[in-house]
């Protein structure tokens, strides 16, 4: 799947759409999800045109992959979640339920999140 430069997170990265920023460095931008599903629900996206985790892990340079993964930990610590714990989720492709075609990792926390997946219908 080709990267769509008009996806909503590309527009956020370019500053064309506002976001409630939590963290930013050379590799990643983190901001609050517009429709939070937990007391803390932040999205962390890489600075680069990657559709999904599949695309990112094939195409991204090692420095960006390392910087992005480090950013995930930094954001969680900045939000004070390292003591209580949290969950990361990267919906990927159709079966993963990915809606926005720019890699994003959901960071959930602030309450007990339960075990793994909801039962399928
Ligand atoms: P996905 O289903 O692709 O893993 O998740 C996409 C997420 O992006 C959803 O949780 C949705 O609420 C969030 N989202 C969609 N549009 C916007 C937006 O314009 N701003 C922010 N902050 N979040 C968005």
pLDDT digits (tens, 9 = 90+) for 30-84: 999 999 999 999 999 999 999 999 999 999 999 999 999 999 999 999 999 999 9
Q: How far is the CA of 93 from the centre of ligand 1 (A)?
A: 15
Q: How far is the CA of 33 from the centre of ligand 1 (A)?
A: 6
- From 32, 41, 102, 104, the catalytic residue: 104
State pLDDT tens for residues 4-19.
999 999 999 999 999 9
pLDDT band at 116 (very low <50, low <70, confident <90, very high): confident
Rounded to an integer, what distance in angstroms lies between the CA atom of residue 21 and that of residue 31?
4
Q: H or E segment at 114?
A: none
- Is residue 113 in contact with ligand 1, taking CB distance under 6 Å? no
- Is residue 88 in contact with ligand 1, taking CB distance under 6 Å? no
pLDDT band at 120 (very low <50, low <70, confident <90, very high): low
According to CATH, the topology of domain 8-109 is HIT family, subunit A (3.30.428)
Q: Which residue has the higher pLDDT, 84 or 119?
A: 84
- Is residue 91 in contact with ligand 1, taking CB distance under 6 Å? yes
Q: Are strands 105-109 and 40-46 parallel, antiparallel or unpaired?
A: antiparallel
- Is the pLDDT reported for residue 3 higher than 90? yes
Q: Are 10 and 49 in contact (CB under 8 A)?
A: yes
Of 6, 17, 5, 4, which Cα lies nearest the Cα of 43?
17
**What six digits make up the tokens of 46?**
């890489």
Domain limits, the chain:
8-109
pLDDT band at 121 (very low <50, low <70, confident <90, very high): low
Q: What is the pLDDT of the chain when averaged over all its residues? A: 96
Active-site annotation holds for 104: yes
Global confidence as pTM: 0.97
């Amino acid at each position: 799947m080709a990267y769509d430069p008009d996806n909503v997170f590309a527009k956020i990265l370019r500053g064309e759409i506002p976001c409630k920023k939590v963290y930013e460095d050379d590799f990643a931008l983190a901001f609050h999800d517009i429709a939070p599903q937990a007391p803390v629900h932040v999205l962390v996206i890489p600075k680069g045109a990657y559709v999904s985790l599949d695309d990112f892990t094939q195409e991204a340079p090692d420095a960006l992959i390392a910087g992005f993964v480090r950013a995930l930990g930094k954001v969680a610590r900045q939000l004070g979640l390292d003591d209580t714990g949290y969950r990361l989720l990267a919906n990927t492709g159709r079966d993963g339920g990915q809606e926005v075609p720019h890699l994003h990792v959901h960071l959930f926390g602030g309450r007990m999140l339960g075990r793994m997946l909801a039962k399928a219908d």
